[in-house]
Amino acid sequence: MSIQDKVIYQLYPKSFYDSNGDGIGDLRGIIEKIDYLKRLNVDMIWFNPFFVSPQNDNGYDIADYRNIDPRFGTMADFEELVDKLKAINIDVMLDMVLNHTSTEHAWFQKALAGDPKYQAYYYIRPGKADGSLPTNWESKFGGPAWAPFGNTGNYYLHLYDPTQADLDWHNPAVRQEAAAIVNFWRAKGVHGFRFDVLNVIGKSETLVDAPPQIESKTLYTDTPIVEDYIKELAANSFDQDDNSVTVGEMSSTDLPHATAYTKPENHELSMVFQFHHLKTDYQNGEKWTNMRYDFNALRDLLHKWGAGMSQSGGWQALFWNNHDQPRALDRFGDVSHYRIQSAQVLAASIHLSRGTPYIYMGEEIGMSDPQYSSMDDYVDIEAHNAYKSLLQQGLTPEKAFAIIHQKARDNSRTPMQWDDSANAGFTNGTPWLRPTNQAQVNVAAELEHGQIFDFYQRLIAIRKQNPVIARGDYRPFGEDIDWLYAYERHLDDTAVLVLNNFADHAIDVPLPKDWQSGKILLTNATEVTLQATVTLEPFTTLAIIHN
């Protein structure tokens, strides 16, 4: 099965199911829920990191790449999980965080102890002559991107949290270590790898200030050497497997770079994550703002990337949700009035498109953002840093909290809601993050009489049964119709038209004659007739196929 045919499920282990009552999801919990994953019929599961970590950034600060953090289980648990998933034809994708390590990692600790070999693994620089930091770069989590390197008088670079020290990929030893880590997990039967923030590994050996009015990320994102590093890593590890599936998280990338990373002849990656469509509710490009998303911008970006990757031969990962984003249902749908229809139109709009669709844990039952009322409910360091920053900018606590409530990463990290009990059936203990709306949304109720999980099953089946969905091209349709996101897919003599109404009101769509004689492939409408003008009720999706 090629990447075009696959559907991938993202599972956040910390929040999936707790088997031992400590309030944290674990590997044995996943094993206990394998029948649920089998029922959905996905092909691969991407697991967020469960390696040894102090958990300052929820596992993306790795202290040991080759061992399971005891809070999640043991290596025997992992091996059992892999075997049981493979028995039901589900492959495993692991998260490789190779841009940085935890400051508790043995490499960093040896560097602190004065070992020059390991000091060369990191960006360690003296301050400027005037006593200021080595550069004016800002951390993506807020504040400067430099922290004191022990008591040496030097500083180390951290593009993210101060406990996440950036690795220097110019050092061949670092690149060899990266390949060895991938190969360690390949030897355990893993053939899927998601590479965290991969397009920022190409920082220069000589680091300089960002010019005035220029974001520092422009100095180290998508630099030419990134492709060289990926090709070398691929050749020395995953590209040796015919069935490897790889995806690079490429924040702020562009179409030409994404194409280059994913064209098969370049031997780099299978696909990329890009996030431009998830920034359409950023006011003036700023995440920590409170605004409704811009539908026209969203539609145009989806068309730009869909058509652009189709024409260039690149491949992208298709997604609305992940562990770093608030729930898409709240951002792009209408949870209060059209929760089911909103979930369905969001699903259809990407699952019928060109690319590999990802389902984020809970999306398939229509989970939405938690109903929190205090910063005490949030755990994520980014949210707390942002709240402090917003207060420093002069916002009232109420306005600052409203922004956090809309944009926090913890919105998607709440426990999987298995039933309507106090802890959503996730744990017998105290959950590390509190669920809030499980009485309305939970797996038990959805499987008994819901309409979202079944819709995802149908979408997955359609991709596998119709080559035009898996391999067809992408052509924008109806770009001048307000609130319509629509496209055509063509492969040989078969074509599919997908119409998605993102509005809370009905819209009329003129239907070309060829499509009036087609057959309905999928819809969530109770009744629809193919005629000169099709009326789509709020949050309706309609897919038409003709040969």
Kindly report the number of other CB atoms within 10 A of residue 171's CB atom.
Answer: 15
Rounded to whole angstroms, the Cα distance separating 502 from 483 reads: 5
Dist CA 35 CA 38 (whole Å): 5
Element (H, E) at 68: strand 64-68
Question: Amino acid identity of 506?
Answer: A
The Cα-based distances of 495 to 53, 218, 356, 522 in angstroms read: 48, 40, 19, 14
**Residue 501, C-beta contacts closer than 8 angstroms, at least 6 positions apart:** 345, 483, 484, 507, 536, 537, 538, 539, 540, 541
Query: SS3 of 281, please?
Result: coil
Contacts of 396 (CB under 8 A, 6+ apart): none
- For 512, other C-beta atoms within 10 Å of its C-beta total 10
- Do the bridges between strand 124-126 and strand 100-102 make them parallel or antiparallel, or are there none, so unpaired? unpaired
Tokens of 485: 């996101």
Spatial CB neighbours of 179, under 8 Å, sequence gap ≥ 6: 232, 233, 236, 237
What is the DSSP code (8-state) at residue 507? E
**What span, in angstroms and rounded, lies between the C-alpha atoms of 146 and 169?**
18
* Pairing between β-strand 51-52 and β-strand 64-68 as defined by DSSP bridges: antiparallel
Would you call 364 helix, strand, or coil by DSSP?
A: helix
What is the enclosing helix (H) or strand (E) of 247?
strand 245-249
Q: Give SS3 for 39.
A: helix
List the structure tokens of 321. 């949700």
Buried/exposed 381-407: b ≥16 CB within 10 Å, e otherwise: bbbebbbeebeeeebeeeebbebbbbb
Query: Of 288, 166, 178, which is closest to residue 217 (Cα–Cα)?
Result: 166
Q: What is the distance between the alpha carbons of residues 5 and 106, in angstroms, rounded to a whole number? A: 40
Distance separating alpha carbons of residues 418 and 424, to the nearest angstrom: 6
Contact yes or no for 50/69 (Cβ under 8 A): yes
Catalytic residues: 196, 249
- The gap between the terminal CA atoms of the chain, to the nearest Å, is 24
48 secondary structure, DSSP code = P
Radius of gyration of the chain (CA): 23
Q: Which two tokens stand for residue 241?
A: 């497997």
